[in-house]
Amino acid sequence: MGLKCKEEAKKRGQPCRFSRCRYWLDYAEDLNCSLIAIEKHGEMSLNQIAQRIGVTIPMVFHTERNAMRKLKEGLKEDHGDEAFQRLTDES
């Protein structure tokens, strides 16, 4: 799935039918495809993301914050304190 169903949905101009695809989202305006949403809108606000995945804005914020924390911890473990500090300074 993924790129193939994205291209099929764009070609047909119809929302994607493959709800088992990892990129599928229940948002017909973006043809039910997160790849199309990103292609259409680029960087999106927390509100836009929340609308597309059906959660609250604080939930998107919390999820993003936790993901960044985990990435920073992994970077620190893999590359040491210096790389972690550079990333922390940029945030």
- Tracing tokens 């945030």 back to the chain, one arrives at 91
Tokens found for residue 26: 């229940």
Sign of CA dihedral 84, 71, 56, 28: positive
91 pLDDT above the threshold of 60: no
- pLDDT tens figures, 34-83: 999 999 999 999 999 999 999 999 999 999 999 999 988 888 888 877 76
Among 40, 43, 22, 20, CA closest to 31? 40
| pLDDT average, residue stretch 21-33 | 94
pTM of this prediction?
Answer: 0.73
- Binned at pLDDT 50, 70 and 90, residue 84 comes out as low
